[in-house]
Amino acid sequence: MEAEELLTGPRGRRFVVEAVYRARVRAEPAMGRAAPPWPYAGASAAADFLRSVDPASLRGLSERDVMASIVESVYSAMYWQPPHAEDVTVADPQVVEALRPAAGILIDHPVLAALDRPLLAEPGRLAHPAAHIDWVDHVYPGRRVPPHLSRTDEQGRDKLERWRRRTDDDVRRARSDRPGDVTALHGGEWWVPPTMVGLLATTPLPGADALEPGADLGMPLLLQGIEDSFDLKAGTVRFFDLEPGVAPRVYEVDSTTAWARLVAAFPLDVTPARRHEYYQVTGLDVAWFMPDWQRVAEEYDAVHVTVGGYLTTATRAIRLDPALAPDAHTMLAGWNPDQAYWLAAPLGEAGRYDVELVDSGSGDRLDAATWRRAAT
C-alpha cells in the first residue's frame, strides 16, 4: 500500500486524519481532548491544524491509537446517505495535501504493517486463527443463531444458490417498485458480501485463542472494526482453523485494482437495487456491478479484504471496464477490514468463549474501549 493510495479513498483519508489527531493529543497533553476542527470548521482550518502536527510524531502512536483510528474510519462508513461532513472536509485538495506527509509515515508504521497482511501465511496455514462472533442481541432475548459452516458439498452450493435467488428477486422488485428519480429517498440493500444465507465470515484475532479468562483483548478489529455495528457489546467468539491437508484458494482484495478485477471477472448487474442508495453517497447515477458470488465460488474458497484493501477501496465509486457498460462502476460496501467470507469453508471449530465490552466511562472515545474474555 502506497501513501497516495491511502489518500485516494474516504476510509483511508479518515484513518490518516484520525491518526494525526491522536498524535497531536499525545504530543500536547495540555490540549486535553479538544475536538478536531474537521467536523465543524472549513477545509482551511483543518489543513492548518494538520500542518501544525509534526509527521514524525506518528511513529510513536501506540497499537491502540492506530486501531482506534481505523475503527473511527470504519464507523463513519455510510452507503445509504450523503457522506459525513468530516469526510467532505477531509476530501478537500488542500486537506489531502496537508495529510500527505502523515500518510507517508503511517504506511510504514509497524502496527499497520502487522495488520495489513494476507489471510494465509503459506498454503494450508492461516496467518492467525480465524474468529467469528455470535453477538448477544440486546433487543431480543438470547443469541443470534450462529451460521453453519459452508462446506464443499451441496450445503455450500445451496447457500450460494439461495443468495443468488435473493439478489435476483431484489433486483426485480427494485426495477418495478422504485421511483425513476434517483434523488428520491428509497432504502434497500446496500451491502455486497453474500450475507444472510449462513456463510461463515471470519476476522483474525491474534493470540486470543490462548487468552486466560478475564484477560484483556484490547480493541480488535473483529469486535470494533464493524460497519453499521449497532453498538454491540457482548457475544461468543468461535475460533476456526483449516482442516489438515487443506490449502484453500483465497482471493485477496488488497487494493482497489484487486476489487475491480474480481467484479470484472464475475460481474453481476445490480443497478436497480443499488442505484438510489449509492447515489446518496457518491452523487453518481451510473450502472452498478458487484461480484456474482455463486460464480466466484467455482474458483475460490474464500475472499479476504485486507486492512489496506479496505482503507483504499471502501465507500468509493470505482470505475470498471466500459465493455461491461459505458458507465459501469462498483462499490465495496458492508465488508469489514481484514474480514474473509468463506464460500466453501474447509474449516473446523477450534474453541470458543464469551467476550464483553468493558465500560470505559469515556463516552464514545474509541481509544479507551476495552474488550475482555469473560471470567466464566
pLDDT (0 to 100) of residue 153? 53
What is the average pLDDT across 357-367?
Answer: 65
Please report, to the nearest 10 degrees, the dihedral formed by the alpha carbons of residues 257, 259, 264, 269 taken in order: -140
Q: Which residues pair with 303 in a beta bridge?
A: 251, 341
Three cell numbers written together for 361: 466511562
pLDDT (0 to 100) of residue 341? 94
pLDDT (0 to 100) of residue 366? 65
pLDDT over threshold 60, residue 144: no
Q: Which of 31-45, 228-242, 279-293 has the highest mean pLDDT?
A: 279-293
What is the average pLDDT across 323-346?
Answer: 93
165-184, pLDDT tens digit by residue? Answer: 999 999 999 999 888 899 88
pLDDT (0 to 100) of residue 301? 93
Three cell numbers written together for 290: 458487484
CA-to-CA separations, 27 to 54, 64, 99, 155, in angstroms, rounded: 9, 16, 18, 55
What is the average pLDDT across 295-300?
Answer: 95
Contact of 64 with 218, CB cutoff 8 Å: yes
254-275, pLDDT tens digit by residue? Answer: 999 999 999 999 999 999 999 9
pLDDT (0 to 100) of residue 99? 97
d(CA 285, CA 182): 7
Contact of 237 with 208, CB cutoff 8 Å: yes
Rg (C-alpha) for the chain, rounded Å, is: 21
pLDDT (0 to 100) of residue 140? 59
What is the percentage of the chain residues whose pLDDT exceeds 70? 91
Say which residue the cell 482471493 belongs to.
251
Lowest mean pLDDT among 52-61, 153-162, 286-295: 153-162
Q: Which amino acid is at 22?
A: R
| Mean pLDDT over the full length of the chain | 89
Task: Write the CB contacts of 103 (distance below 8 Å, at least 6 apart in sequence).
Answer: 3, 4, 6, 7, 12, 16
What is the average pLDDT across 188-209?
Answer: 89
Where residue 192 falls among pLDDT bands split at 50, 70, 90? Answer: very high
d(CA 294, CA 163): 8
pLDDT (0 to 100) of residue 345? 72
Number of H helices, E strands in the chain: 13, 15
Where residue 73 falls among pLDDT bands split at 50, 70, 90? Answer: very high
Q: Which residue has the higher pLDDT, 162 or 1?
A: 162
Contact of 37 with 95, CB cutoff 8 Å: no
